[in-house]
Amino acid sequence: MKLPNLTLLQAYLKTATSAATSGGKILKKYWKNVKQIEDKSTAGDLVTEADKESEKIILQMITEAYPDHAILAEESSEKHLSSSSDFLWVIDPLDGTVNYAHQNPMVAISIALLYQNKVVVGVVFNPFYQELFQAIKGMGATLNGEKITVSQTRALDKSLLATGFAYDRRTTTDTNYPEFCHLTNLTHGVRRFGAASLDLAFVAAGRFDGYWERGLKPWDMAAGALLVQEAGGKISAYNETPFDLQSGKILATNGMLHHALSQELLNLSM
């Protein structure tokens, strides 16, 4: 796949960054003042007026800049999909809505741009901690403009991991609770933030050594997956086959722990 030229990619990143920071202003506006909290299709899968208004301003900015591009956004009833476009924006206007509804600031806006089904631009922004993670494919990853790299941890028993629990955990038998318990005992610990984009960004920044989760959507993973790769890490399916954005599953590590963590996950599934 031949990438768009760097000037174009930088322009796309600028648009994504502007849209994310504008969405962040919406999240701060509604902070501690959310009046509408609703369940979506699954209990515990929440949406608020902040999600909807954040998405509205993000979509407006992206469609005005690139009207021919396709868009896949979490809260939109119309997905703005176009089979004729090589470009697809994948947007989560508020990752960590449950946290947000409970006034926990571990939330983010996640915006990714795919070109011919490959992520080429990614932005993850936490407006409360003012942390802006950015990446362009082939150009590395940054946090607030400074280059970031994954950790150098080489052994699982020295690692700090992260995971999350799917919204359907109350009704499905396919949960990662056994994995969570097993890996908690095997490592320095496992954290659960409730915002997949931040989990991936933290792997990219070396704050976590690895992360795994299932039951995810493309907007949960797209931007963060690029951050990990561009920071020198590795992403894949649990069994180390190529990562599929539509699969709902991801394994992300600093690379050095990847095979060991994959083996632990596969052994538990047998």
Span 148-192, pLDDT tens digits? 999 999 999 999 999 998 765 555 567 788 899 999 999 999 999
Average pLDDT over residues 34-51: 59
Tokens of 257: 């722990």
State percent of the chain over pLDDT 70.
88
- Sheet with 131-136, strands from edge to edge, namely 70-73, 87-95, 108-115, 118-126, 131-136, 141-143, 146-147
Angle of the 196-204 helix axis to the 218-230 helix axis, nearest 10: 0
The confidence score (pLDDT) of residue 170 equals 56
Nearest CA-CA partner of 133 in 121, 144, 147: 144
Tokens of 159: 């690692």
Is 94 annotated among the ligand-binding residues? yes
The confidence score (pLDDT) of residue 44 equals 47
Nearest CA-CA partner of 262 in 238, 228, 244, 241: 238
Interatomic CA distance for residues 68 and 84, integer angstroms: 9
Q: Are 192 and 175 in contact (CB under 8 A)?
A: no
| DSSP annotation string for 80-109 | ---TT-SEEEEEEEEE-HHHHHTT----EE
Residue 167, CA distances (Å) to 41, 49, 107, 120, 173 in order? 10, 20, 17, 28, 12
Long-range contacts of 240-244 (CB under 8 A, 24+ apart): none
Q: String of b and e for 142-168 (b: at least 16 CB within 10 Å)? A: bbeeeebebbebeebeebbbbbbbbbe
Q: What are the chain's domains?
A: 6-148 (3.30.540.10), 156-269 (3.40.190.80)
Report DSSP state, residue 23. H
Is 74 annotated among the ligand-binding residues? yes
Task: For CA atoms 37, 73, 217, 152, give the dihedral sign.
Answer: negative
Is 95 annotated among the ligand-binding residues? yes
In which band, very low, low, confident or very high, does the pLDDT at 2 lie, cut at 50, 70 and 90?
confident
Task: Flag whether pLDDT at 94 surpasses 90.
Answer: yes
In which band, very low, low, confident or very high, does the pLDDT at 35 lie, cut at 50, 70 and 90?
low
Q: How many angstroms separate the first and last alpha carbons of the chain? A: 37
Report DSSP state, residue 188. S
Average pLDDT over residues 236-242: 97
Q: What is the pLDDT of residues 101-141, one digit of tens each?
A: 899 999 999 999 999 999 999 999 999 999 999 999 999 99
Q: What length does the chain have?
A: 270
Q: How far is CA 8 from the centre of its chain?
A: 23
Q: What is the pLDDT of residues 51-77, one digit of tens each?
A: 888 999 999 999 999 999 999 987 764
Helix (H) or strand (E) holding 115: strand 108-115
- Average pLDDT score over the chain: 90
